[in-house]
Amino acid sequence: MDVIKMNNIVKEYRIGEIRLNALKNIDLTIENGEFVSIMGPSGSGKSTLLNVIGCLDKCTEGSYILDGNSVEKLSDNKLSEIRNRFLGFVFQNFSLLPKLNSIKNVEIPLVYRGVNGKMRKEMAEEALIKVGLKDRMKHLPMQLSGGQQQRVAIARAIVGNPSVLLADEPTGALDTSTSKNIMELFLKLNEETELTIVQVTHEESIAEYGKRIIRLVDGEINRIDIN
């Protein structure tokens, strides 16, 4: 099944009189269970594309179907519902809440879904075990290494069983060997739980963990490589 289906996506930014097409006629289909990397130089449209895929921003033209939902015309409220139900996000700088321990950070998306406290705790613990942090459940972010903080963020992203995990430069703040560990975790989650992963990176060695590499140049798909 196609979890992401984009046809003829255009994203135009206007700054006063100036118009800039950050995305031009993007056609992109991603199947359930794929692991895809989006690569490209700075300014090529990677963040813009990830923002549109992640329903953080709307496209100017084109159609976008996310897990059977036509999202291009939805209101902002509906979009945040869709984000919460279907997507998990991982960022370069982890974006954990500093005063909450690992379990409480991972519970956040479930709070928005109205899951009760006992169930939240169980689900958060299960997600933390999946990312290898069984013995770091009660730690605060500042008591964890960068790699461990990113694992907490990954647990938070997967705790609600999203259709797609979206990662924006997930290893951008990590050293080489920690980056490799995070990519191995992505591979494991992708293989064992058939989680669909879409990551943006500007590093070739990180992109290569994906089964498909979509190369953007100047807002267009320039090439797709299959590993």
Binding footprint of ligand ADP on the chain (CB under 6 A)? 13, 15, 20, 22, 40, 42-48
- Closest separation between CB of residue 90 and ligand ADP, Å? 13
- Closest separation between CB of residue 116 and ligand ADP, Å? 35
Which residue from 65, 68, 47 is spatially nearest to 56, judged by alpha carbons? 47
Contact, 44 vs 216, CB < 8 A?
yes
- Closest separation between CB of residue 168 and ligand ADP, Å? 6
Q: Specify the residue for token string 């950070």.
A: 105
Which CB atom, from 15 or from 142, has the smaller least distance to ligand ADP?
Answer: 15
- Closest separation between CB of residue 20 and ligand ADP, Å? 6
Residue positions counted in the chain = 227
| CA–CA gap between residue 122 and residue 35 (Å, rounded) | 27
Which CB atom, from 16 or from 114, has the smaller least distance to ligand ADP?
Answer: 16
Angle at 217 between CA 212 and CA 222, to 5 degrees: 50
For 118, other C-beta atoms within 10 Å of its C-beta total 8
| CA–CA gap between residue 144 and residue 87 (Å, rounded) | 25
Which CB atom, from 40 or from 88, has the smaller least distance to ligand ADP?
Answer: 40
Which CB atom, from 2 or from 203, has the smaller least distance to ligand ADP?
Answer: 203
Which CB atom, from 41 or from 68, has the smaller least distance to ligand ADP?
Answer: 41
| CA–CA gap between residue 214 and residue 220 (Å, rounded) | 10
Chain mean position to CA 190: 13
- Closest separation between CB of residue 60 and ligand ADP, Å? 12
